[in-house]
Amino acid sequence: MESCRLADSTAERGDPVKLKDKLIQLDIRGRRTIVISDIHGELALFKQLLKKTGWSDDDRLIINGDILDKGQDSLGTMKFIRELAESDNVYVIEGNCDRFFDELEADWLYAYMDCRHTAAHEFLRETGTTLEDYPAQSDFARAVLEQYGDFQQWFRNLPTAIETEDYLFVHAGIEADYLETPREVALTMPEFYSRTHHLDKTVVVGHYPAANFVEDGLYSHEVKVNQARRIIALDGGNQVKASGQLNALIIEADGSLDTMSVDAHPSRLVIQDFEVTLQEPHSFTFPDYEIKAFEGDAHFTFAEHLSSQTQLMVKTEWIKEQDGRHYLNDDYTDLFLDVTAGEEVKVVGEYAGYVLIKRNGLVGWVPEEVLDTSTDKASDISHV
């Protein structure tokens, strides 16, 4: 899967453009503003989230980058958002995955297509063609641009950042002198939430899933707000994390903050209280997966997470062996969640004797008997 990571690291093309060259100034005080990032082609989820926020023409909407890639309907999402953006209360900034139309001739594109669903797949489906129908990659690129050249132009014209009285909205992050941040860095900088910046405003970023910033051992997809460092991490891991979600940050007219989310996981009713008295949870995220597995049974295996030298119980099905080494097969948390009869939770996955659930963005385990298996409700949105 190494090739899947190329798209984030390739655009070192000596792009001389700085953040200040593609910056929009905007006044948002006194008006409700909804911010959503990393939609990644999930048009149905995006529409569902807009509805959940009660979005109307009286509100502002800011799309914080990454409309395209990974999800099932990148082309539909970009068409829908471009139409929305014709209204003067909707603003879109660019994300690294939105450079698709400028990367059609990149040497990594076909390899990337082997492991991720992309807008290129949708173009092939739409035109009833396959890559074999194009003698050279440049022929494929030409065919896409013949149909979508105006979208290439639209994406190119998107600002890299929006600056308001109190906020800077940018897809990935800024450097010390924010105006001089290279566009490339603003779109791809990893882990900005862990950093510090010198701007006297709150920087709102997507790009890097908020769940990667494990706090107190908890694995949560909720919007993370760090007021001391004036950073908000918005990306709910939609289409990137198995338990991910699409988040909205809502800046109310009075300046207070609220968050909402939607995801594709089904709901289930809790029929029995479950309470854990003492636990010290651990969570590990990509790519830090290597463990040493000791004894275990069908349910849990005692293990040590190597880089952090942490001992924990790992759900046995979660352990993958490769060349004599052991790895977590995905992001992992050993948290057990307290639940109360009568509440509804999201089901992320079912394993021997236990179910991985999510509540308010927080992921953890419960024994299967506390859930009513007959009450599965459709997810927020159906993918098929």
Which residues of this chain interact with Mn ion, rule CB under 5 A?
66, 95-96, 207
Which token pair is 327?
């790895």
Q: Which is nearer to Mn ion, 95 or 281 (CB)?
A: 95
> What is the nearest approach in angstroms of Mn ion to the Cβ of residue 109?
17
CA 273 to chain centroid: 32
C-beta of 33 vs 96, nearer to Mn ion: 96
Instruction: Give the Cα separation of 41 and 68 in Å (integer).
Output: 5
Q: Using the minimum distance from each CB to Mn ion, give the nearer residue, 32 or 207.
A: 207
Dihedral sign for Cα atoms in the order 119, 121, 123, 125: negative
Min dist. Cβ of residue 376 to Mn ion (A)? 32
Question: Which residue has tokens 């909720």?
Answer: 222
**What is the smallest separation between the CB atom of 2 and Mn ion, expressed in angstroms?**
18
Query: Which residue, 66 or 380, is less far from Mn ion as judged by CB?
Result: 66
For the chain, what's the residue count? Answer: 384
Residue 177: φ, ψ to 5°? -95, 95
| Pairing mode, strands 33-36 and 60-63 | parallel
Nearer of residues 207 and 265 to Mn ion, judged by Cβ: 207
Question: Cβ closer to Mn ion: 96 or 283?
Answer: 96
Which H helix or E strand runs over 83?
helix 74-84
Smallest distance, Mn ion to C-beta of residue 204, A: 14
* Residue appearing with tokens 């006297």: 200
3-class SS letters over 323-370 = CCEEEECCCEECCECCECCCCEEEEEEEECCEEEEEECCEEEEEEHHH
Q: How far is the CB of 39 from Mn ion (least distance, A)?
A: 11
Cβ-Cβ contacts under 8 Å for 155 (sequence gap 6 or more): 78, 94, 98, 99, 100, 101, 102
Cβ nearer to Mn ion, comparing 96 with 160? 96
Q: At what angle do helices 119-127 and 74-84 cross, to 10 degrees?
A: 100
Shortest Cβ 187–Mn ion spacing (Å): 7
| Residue nearest Mn ion by beta-carbon distance | 207
Is residue 326 within 8 Å of residue 320, measured between CB atoms? Answer: yes
Q: Which is nearer to Mn ion, 187 or 291 (CB)?
A: 187
CA distance 375 to 267: 8
Q: How far is the CB of 94 from Mn ion (least distance, A)?
A: 10
In whole angstroms, the minimum distance from the beta carbon of 181 to Mn ion comes to 16
